[in-house]
Each structure stands twice: as C-alpha cells, then as structure tokens.
Structure 1
Amino acid sequence: MASTKKHEHRLYEKTTGWGFTAIIAIGTVLMFINGNSTKGFMGIMTVMVYASILIYQSRSPRPFPASFTIISYTFIFIAVGLGTLSGFYRVLHFDDVLHLLSGIWIGYGSLIILKLMIGKDLSLRLPKAFVALYMLCFSLGAAGLWELLEFTGDKWFHFTSQGRDHDDTMFDMINGLVGGAVTVIFFLRKRRS
C-alpha cells in the first residue's frame, strides 16, 4: 500500500515537472519569436533547471520528497512562467509575495537538506532551537544568494531583476526571512506535538 502511494506521488511529480517544462518551453519559443531574447534566454535556463531536477529525481538513490519537488516546480513556474514570461512582475506586490513564498519553500528545503546531511535520526535529536536558528539562517542565506544571482544577471545579461535602488534587494531579503520564520513556526509546532 505504501509503495503504491509512493509510486502515485512520483507520478504526480513527473507529470507536474514535464507539464511545466512544456509550458515554459512554449513560452520561451514565443519570446524568441517576438524578439525578446533576454526573456527567451531566461526561459532556456529555466528549462535546463527543470530538466536537471527531473533527471536528478529519476536517477538519484536519495531523491527529494515528491511534495517538495512539486512545490519547487510550481514555485519556479510562478516565478518564471507567470512572473517573467507573462509579465506578472508588473502586478503590485507580486515580487513581495513571491519572495515570501520562497522563504517558506527554502525553509522546508533546509529541513530536507539537514536530514540528508546528517540522517533523519540525528536531525530529530538536535535541539529544536538549533534547528530553528539553522532554518532562519538558511532562509536568509538563500535570499542573499538569490539577490547576488539577480545582481549578476542584471550586470552580465542585462536583466532588470533588481530595479533601480537597493530597497528592492532589502525587501526581497526581508520577505525571504519572514517566509523562513513562517516555516520555523510550523516546524516548532510540529516538533512540540
């Protein structure tokens, strides 16, 4: 029964991954047809990210949980498919909500990485205050790394991710930290029970 459920979850995961990959690929082709090579290039990079995750998940002896992978596919689609290719970044506070969600996603991912690095048993024996601090630091570190990637994309590839001032960068990092804090709250409540 558990094996059937796991197989079913993996099937949902693959369907989600390939579905979003196809949509992004079509959007990428449309960007190039319309002469927007910058967004087209972002689409190509996104298809490569999807392909990498799909390959890792199918070949790894220790794949990420299907739920996390589906959340990852969905988050990437919202960020690139809706945000970049469809112009949703023009919607007021879309970017803020996205960075808040990224903090939640990264917070969840940090727990998975912790369990992969030290094992599930040892991760359960760590003091919950330590794990909570680790999750917050991981979320903030990931938010900072993302801002460095945005800066690099803006400078090298002429993207327009960071706007014209530092407020965007700082608010994005704050939103990521708040999202990480939300995940910490859920973690602490679950660990208490």
Structure 2
Amino acid sequence: MKKHMKYDTIITYIFYILLATTLVWDIFARGSGKVFRIGLIYITIFIARLLFNKTFLKKSKAGYVLALIFIFFSMYLANVMDFYSIPNYDKLLHLVSGVLLAFLGLIIYIFLCGNKENLTMRPIAMVVFPLLFAIACAGAWEIWEFTTDQIFGFTAQNNSLHDTMWDIICGTVGGSFSCFFMYLYIKGKNIRIVKMIIKDMED
C-alpha cells in the first residue's frame, strides 16, 4: 500500500524547491548577493525540523507549519526578497509573529496542561497562557535586538524607543487576534486551527 506524504513534509519540500530556485536566480541574475541568507534559511529549517522531531513539539505538525510560515515571512520575504524595503513591513512581521507565537503558546500549554477538558485548570487558562507567552516573546525579542545593537553596533531598533514599543504592541495585537479564536473555541465554537493543534498534540 502506497504511503502518502504528510502535509508538513509536502510544505517543507515546496519551501526547499523555492529556495533552490531562488538560489539559482540569485547566482545568475543578482550577483550572488543573497547566497548566505538563503543558506541560513536552509539551516533554520533544519533546526526547526530537529526541534519538531526530537522534542515534545514532535506531535505538532501544525506548529511546525506555523514555524515555516514565520521563516518564510521573516527570512525569505524580508531578507532574500527585500520586503524590509516596503514601508511598515517590519510592523506587519511583528503582527504575524504575535499570531504565530500565540499558537505556539497554545501548543506548549496543551503539552503541560492538556486541553479544556482538564478539570484541574480553568478553561480560560487556555487563552491567557498563549496571550502572555506571545507578549513575553515580543518583549524578549526587543531585548535581544537591543543587546545585539549595543554589542555589535547594529541598528535593528533604529535607536528608538518609539520603534521598540510599536513592535511590542504589534506582537501583542497579533497574539490577541489568535487568542480571540482560542476563546471562541473554549466557548464551544468550531475553530478548525485550534482543533487541529489539539488533535496533533493528543494523537
């Protein structure tokens, strides 16, 4: 009986093909300016696959796909395709990261505490933990950017508190967006992505 590839594997191969095509295009049409960044994406995908194959995250195919989506937006589009030159793309990226980090927070919560049927936890904790996780990660990322700016002389934060605060706000808004659907789920609504994440973790 022929074994069908799982959707996470198919998406990974599509991403690899896209990167290979972009690499050829970059070498012959752009003077190899992005070869290092493309190689870095391959390494990042490898690390993501390792984490989602060897740790408690291995149950969550949906979580792995969310990680690939973030890599696509933050590394491929932003750095390889120069989307950072688009006004406010950085803020869009922080919004997207907030959305994805909240779902990662949900995966961690389910691993630690189970789903909403866990009688020892109030169902609302399934919303609060992912939201706090997304906000904490948004703040931690800004700490990382500040640290690298100070040590290596980078300009990720443009030496601006205004830029930093808007990045955290965007991450918080994105996390709140995801958590709204988690709230609908605990209220009995059929939210497909939440159900998919829970099913992955419980299988």
TM, length-normalised to structure 1: 0.77
Which deviates the most, 12-21 or 83-92?
12-21
Counterpart code for 1:142 = C
Counterpart code for 2:47 = S
Matched with 1:73 is 68
Matched with 2:132 is 137
1:25–1:47 contact (8 Å) kept in structure 2 = no
User: Aligned residue pairs: how many?
Assistant: 184
Counterpart mapping for 1:104-183 below 5 A: 104-120=99-115, 125-156=120-151, 159-183=154-178
Distance 1:152 1:49 in 2: 21
Gaps spanning 5+ residues in structure 1: where? none
1:21–1:50 contact (8 Å) kept in structure 2 = no
Counterpart code for 1:95 = D
Residues 19-38 of structure 1: CA deviation (Å, up to 9, x unaligned): 3245446657848x8475xx
Counterpart code for 1:56 = L
Matched with 1:98 is 93
Distance 1:61 1:181 in 2: 25
User: Going by fraction, where is helix more abundant, 1 or 2?
Assistant: 1
Distance 1:135 1:170 in 2: 20
TM, length-normalised to structure 2: 0.73
| Residues 122, 156 of structure 1: alpha-carbon distance in 2 compared, 3 angstrom cutoff | farther
CA RMSD of aligned residues (A): 3.2
- The share of aligned pairs that are identical, in percent, is 26
Instruction: Report whether the alignment pairs 1:190 with 2:191.
Output: no
Gaps spanning 5+ residues in structure 2: where? 189-203
